[in-house]
Structure 1
């Protein structure tokens, strides 16, 4: 098979600690680039875009989120400049079809936990909904209720839970080897992979933020009547009702919330942390 080597990029994942150690090694110049079979040298890139997602060498999704937020805000500015109608039906249709869809592309993969990243993404919806007629005087949390919207944070967690359902029922490949177990009282639960006690703080952060762990913990908050649904549309309907039973108060500058608004946080406040482990 002949490959178009000029279209390849070279990305080397490394942590800040490994970067410091590696700089002192005499052969580092050789591993900072890659030579293809025909002699083409690929210089190391700090950010590589693959299937619409930007991956950075420091294992952070913040660069991808920043680029996505900028693009979504540019589209929002274009929409507000071209369309003069600010009525709710028109604005909501434009927002859902042109702006929100861009802000949610592949979000189960890069779903952030940093408050700054959550703020940045939520600002897309917060700023646009302020421009809807009659919404400017309302605070963001009240606007969500008035417009029957979920926060972008809550929607990302919903997508993660739905993806776990698809893995469980064979709709999507189980390429992360997610393990499920049946419980006569609690229904279907995810076995969250353990982390060694000697793991570093960075490893623990990456572990907690990984899809296999975060999505598994989200799934484990679901009650039996939700996690045992075998039809996707029935599951989505039950899941929607379940999510609506929790407050939706996303982290927002100037607002004081009782937690970080994750479904896991609300579930723990109801006294069920043992089910989410």
Structure 2
């Protein structure tokens, strides 16, 4: 009902582009001079006036503005009036202070068009969740669960159950069966670059999937695949690293395959 209620809101603006999702609305305008600032300000005033006419109050103290320079030139930013092109206000006199970073539908966007804040916030949340998970379990078998998920996701991509969102392709081999392709990296690349490459989900998931027996990779029913996958994973040792103790390896299936080759079978 709320969506229907605000259905004509965006049709009231004249000079900028408007977007709404639930109760969040944004105005976007290209600013090349003070006249463009005035037009964007006019659209902002129109939206506020619309809300008053429709008995809906906007949280003017929560308004935010962010500016995205489209080139590396500092000419415009050095002009005396530049500050006036990034500052707006409401009819009630609330000044909307320019921000370097704002949160838009839970995604942090920055004026420099970089994603460092979003990455840092996501990583921080993931660390907190990981700490909670690891404090709730007596062992560290979470890693094995994650690798199982990677394998299942690749199977879903192969069988059109999930979109090809990580660029994995497959090839059919008469002797080895269906295998995920693993593109080569330039051998002249720095060691740090090659290490990062090997740790990417795209590469690691394909490597894990290729560990499976050929007949397991060719199973077409998800439930059957998961059952047989569980039988295969049971054949690998599961000794998660524990702080203060020396372990054989990092407990990855890939590490066990290298250090303790296992003859895998799938009924």
TM-score by length of 1: 0.53
Equivalent pairs counted in the alignment come to: 181
Q: Secondary structure at the match of 1:176?
A: coil
Question: Which structure's residues are more often helix, by fraction?
Answer: 1
Which of 109, 116, 128 does residue 57 from structure 1 map onto?
116
Take 1:170 and 1:191, find their aligned partners in 2: how far apart are those partners? 16
Is 1:43 the equivalent of 2:100? yes
Take 2:188 and 2:118, find their aligned partners in 1: how far apart are those partners? 21
Structure 1: 4+ residue segments shifted above 6 A: 6-11, 58-61
* Stretch deviating more after TM superposition (248-257 or 226-235): 248-257
Q: Which residue of 2 is the match for residue 165 of structure 1?
A: 155
Structure 2 unaligned spans of 5+: 1-16, 20-24, 27-62, 78-84, 90-95, 109-113, 263-267
Listed one character per residue, the Cα deviations across residues 33-64 of structure 1 (whole Å, up to 9, x for unaligned) are xx99x99955147xx9549xxx9629978x64
1:94-109 correspondence runs (5 A)? none
Q: Retained in 1: the 8 A contact 2:64–2:99? A: no
Take 2:156 and 2:240, find their aligned partners in 1: how far apart are those partners? 26
Is 1:67 the equivalent of 2:125? yes
Take 2:118 and 2:191, find their aligned partners in 1: how far apart are those partners? 14
Listed one character per residue, the Cα deviations across residues 189-220 of structure 1 (whole Å, up to 9, x for unaligned) are 11101111232344323311211111011111
Which of 216, 238, 244 does residue 226 from structure 1 map onto?
216
Take 2:235 and 2:225, find their aligned partners in 1: how far apart are those partners? 16
Change (3 A) 1:209 1:270: same
Larger Rg: 2
* Higher relative contact order (Cα pairs below 8 Å, separated by 6+ residues): 1
Structure 1 unaligned spans of 5+: 12-24, 73-120, 131-139, 142-150, 273-277
TM-score by length of 2: 0.55
